[in-house]
Chains A and B, each alone.
Chain A
Amino acid sequence: MNQTTDPLQPSSRMRWLAGGLIYLYAFITLIPLVWIFVTATRTPNDAIAYPPKLVTAPSPTGFVNLFTTRTRLSNEDLAALPPPATWYDNLVRKQQMVIAGPSSFIGRYVNSLIIGFGSTLLSVVLGTLAAYGFSRFRVPGKSDLLFFILSTRMMPPIAVAIPIFLMYRAVGLSDTHLGMILLYTVVNLSLAVWLLKGFMDEIPREYEEAAMIDGYTRVQAFYKIVLPQAATGIASTAIFCLIFSWNEYAFASLLTSGNAQTAPPFIPTIIGEGGLDWPAMASGTALFLLPVLIFTVLLRNHLLRGITFGAIRK
């Protein structure tokens, strides 16, 4: 055996081991997600069957139940009805129910989109400006201010739920989109400022100085030179902010009820007739996961650091 091995590269056995561990980890973390998507495509009876079924025929029942409210009727009443007009009418009839109207899921989902993306946008804009200021200018009491900003994260946000609840009620922000956007922005902002300051600090000042000597104002230099290079940082910060405000449950269930209620507090309230409607809840959850997934996939190229960095150093 005269096989030469590169001492700087891991041996093939280590590679297999590392690969195996990664797949194992992925398998463990993906099981709940897979279960959600599988449950979403089952009938309510299949979902609660015992012993559990591993493979079932796919059914859109969960989604139909998610988007509708239904009334259970006796067999005689059902028989008296005209035949079902659509495939989903038919599906509901099979559960001995008729459709009473649309559910409020779409409205809640839109609320989630408005509040989630609204607060993410606001956090990133404010965070970028603040981080740039902290990174580039002599701010009196800079370290104290930065510590103060960080300190807002030192207790769980829900610890201030009661004061915020009372405050919001007093100023009329309860159950409004604006109220929730502001609240999530406040929570996210400290993270955004700190993360982005790190990225800003890594962008050499020479770039802006060069632009300012070459006839640009500081604002133009910021816009044309700093922002494109901070894209990586802005993208990852945006993902973190979105994940928080999209998933937030506690404040949403406390401060919203109708008008501005987001999807997280709504989904658990989908209770079917005669027990929990697991497929409906699972399809709600599956749809709920999509935007963060899409957002992350779209921005994932920006998450690969090193693309925009490294041109100034050798």
Chain B
Amino acid sequence: MADITVENLQKRFANFTAVKNSNFKIHNGEFFVLLGPSGCGKTTTLRMIAGIEIPSSGRIILDQDDVTFKRARERDIAFVFQLFALYPHMNVRQNMAFPLENEKFSKSEVKRRVEDIAKMLKIDHLLENGVGNLSGGDRQRVALGRAIVRQPKAFLMDEPLGTLDTEFRELMCLELRRLHDRLGATTVYVTHDQHEAMMMADRIMVMNQGEILQVDTPERMYNFPNCKFVGTFIGTPPMSFLRVDSTVRVTDKSIAIQGVPVGIPRTHETAPSVLLGLRPEHVALVSSGGIPGTVKAVEYLGSHQIVTLETAAGTVRARVDKNLKVRLDDAAQALPDASRVLLYNASTEKLMASDYTRLEVAKPEATNLEAVRGAVAHG
């Protein structure tokens, strides 16, 4: 059970910086997901927390203990590798007992612990099997078992579901989350799959090119991506962005796109040109009064359809009723929900504060609340 605090963490390889000046805090018992495209530095970050990669600079504090330069084996953490790394010359039981063998446990204690965990993970019938011909899911469970058996302070997992097929992956996601809730230990989980992240995480940290873009709950991450990249990365289909090259001022209630006025929440910032960030469910197809465009794609998804419109300001996707008849190359108009429009500064691609974002920011998170209370007490 432990907090993990990362301060100014950097990792440079010969001519490239994998992780740039990272700062974040993982709370005790949290399921924390590092999310990002491949090469974004998430795995490097995780490996530094594990101690199998040494940072170029910065500090890592695990449970009030500065472990930055401590060896992996002195950190009391467990790691689940992407390809599980089950030792091929040992059977399931030996694999699971391996982390205990170096510690001062009696033979019977090791046996008891391994069997308890195996029972919990429903792999107790496989204990004497070799690991070579286990199914993907069982291999996954053995790897988890090997991690759990030592009761470490934190679990670090590097895309452990990456090799499983989609259907099974969702099942394992639920299983993992249940396991986490049962054990209550801090879990840091790396993935490039936003579905996995959204399904399991308490909080998600999105990284790109070595930088942290946003640390938030899945809900806030989806509703208020703080930059264009996060909006595109989170959500299927991704957020649409329409570019408007006219100045947006604090008092503006609407913005003209192709001469069509589109309502926006009252913004708190001014920008010379903006991007309108729109989730598909906040865009309606209308016959008049919307942004004109042409239908370029229709994806029928059973419960609804996603229609892609090509407009002069950019591509926009709308989530529409499954019974609506839409054909390719039809003319159509897109109408954003004025209260749900997000504005991004077109040059920095960062989210601009508005009445809408403020409204939601005011909903305090546990940590924010503490900060607010602290401020009140001191004020």
Which residues of the partner chain A approach B15 to less than 8 Å between Cβ atoms? none
Interface residues on B, range: 20 to 34
B251 to chain A, nearest CB (A): 57
Is B52 part of the binding interface, using a Cβ–Cβ cutoff of 8 Å? Answer: yes
Total A-B residue contacts, Cβ distance less than 8 Å: 74
Query: How many chain-A residues does the 8 Å CB contact rule pick out?
Result: 23
B52 contacts A204, C-beta separation under 8 Å: no
**Interface presence of A217 (CB below 8 A):** yes
| B78 lies within 8 A of chain A by Cβ | yes
List A residues 225-245 near B (Cβ within 8 Å).
Answer: 225, 228-229
Residue B192, interface by CB 8 Å:
no
How far apart are the CA atoms of A225 and B86 in the complex, in Å?
A: 10
Partner of A225, one of B72, B87, B132: B87
Q: Which residue of the partner chain, among B86, B99, B132, B163, contacts A214 with CB atoms under 8 Å?
A: B99
The answer for the CA separation of A207 and B131 in the assembled complex, in Å, is 14
A314 touching B71, Cβ below 8 Å? no
B136 close to A (CB within 8 Å): yes
Contact A213 B77 (CB under 8 A): yes
B85 close to A216 (CB less than 8 A): no
Q: How far is the CB of B88 from chain A (nearest CB, A)?
A: 3
Q: Contacts A229-B88, A308-B89 given: A215-B79 contact, CB under 8 Å?
A: no
- A312–B85 contact, CB under 8 A? yes
- B62: shortest Cβ distance to chain A, in Å? 13
Residues on A with beta carbons closer than 8 Å to the beta carbon of B98: 211, 214
Q: Which residues on the B side are within 8 Å of A47 (C-beta)? A: none
A183-212 CB contacts (< 8 Å) to partner B: 204, 206-207, 209-212
A209-B81, A214-B150, A215-B103 given as contacts; is B72 within 8 A of A312 (CB)? no
Contacts of A311 in B (CB 8 A): 86-88, 130-132
Q: Provided the pairs A212-B71, A213-B72 are in contact, do residues A312 and B88 lie with their beta carbons within 8 angstroms?
A: yes
A220 vs B98: C-alpha distance when bound (angstroms):
12
Q: Which of B52, B84, B88 contacts A212 (CB 8 A)?
A: B52
B136 A220 Cβ-Cβ under 8 A: no
Given known A-B contacts A229-B88, A308-B88, A310-B132, A214 and B52 have beta carbons under 8 A apart = no
Interface residues of B in 83-115 (CB under 8 A from A): 83-89, 98-99, 102-103
Decide if B146 is an interface residue (CB 8 Å cutoff). yes
* Residue of A with least CB distance to B134: A311
Given A312-B83, A314-B136, also A216-B102 (CB < 8 A): yes
| Closest chain A CB from B108 CB (angstroms) | 20
Instruction: Determine which residue in B81, B83, B85, B132 has the highest number of CB atoms from chain A within 10 A of its CB, and name it.
Output: B85
User: How far is B75's CA from A209's CA once the two chains are assembled, in angstroms?
Assistant: 13
Q: Within the complex, what minimum Cβ distance (angstroms) separates A217 from chain B? A: 7
**A210/B81 in contact, CB under 8 A:** yes
Q: Which of A213, A220, A311, A312 has the most CB of B within 10 A?
A: A213
Once bound together, how far apart are the Cα atoms of A207 and B84, in whole Å?
A: 9
Quick one: given A212-B52, A216-B73, A217-B73, are A312 and B86 in contact (CB under 8 Å)? yes
A214 touches B88 (CB 8 A): no
Task: Identify the closest chain B residue to A214 (Cβ).
Answer: B99
Determine whether the beta carbon of B52 is less than 8 Å from that of A213: yes
Chain B residues with Cβ under 8 A from A211's Cβ? 87, 98
Smallest CB separation, B270 vs chain A (Å): 51
Instruction: Find chain B residues with CB under 8 A from A148 CB.
Output: none
Q: Find chain B residues with CB under 8 A from A229 CB.
A: 87-89
Give the residues from 266 to 281 in chain A that come closer than 8 angstroms, CB to CB, to chain B. Answer: none
Residues on A with beta carbons closer than 8 Å to the beta carbon of B163: 314
CB <8 Å contact, A207 and B87:
yes
Across the interface, A215 reaches (CB within 8 A) one of B85, B99, B131, namely B99
| Residue pair B85, A210 in contact (C-beta under 8 Å) | yes
Complex Cα spacing A311 to B102, Å: 24
- A313 within 8 Å of B by Cβ? yes
Q: Check A27 for interface membership: any CB of B closer than 8 A.
A: no
Beyond A206-B82, A308-B89, 11 additional pairs, beta carbon < 8 A:
A204-B85, A206-B85, A207-B85, A210-B146, A213-B75, A214-B102, A214-B150, A215-B103, A220-B102, A308-B88, A312-B83
24 CB < 8 A contacts A-B: A206-B81, A206-B82, A207-B85, A209-B50, A209-B72, A209-B79, A210-B85, A210-B87, A212-B52, A212-B71, A213-B50, A213-B72, A214-B146, A215-B73, A215-B102, A217-B73, A225-B87, A229-B88, A309-B88, A310-B132, A311-B130, A312-B83, A313-B83, A314-B163
A-B pairs, top 7 by smallest CB distance, nearest first, are: A311-B88, A214-B99, A206-B85, A228-B89, A210-B85, A213-B72, A206-B81
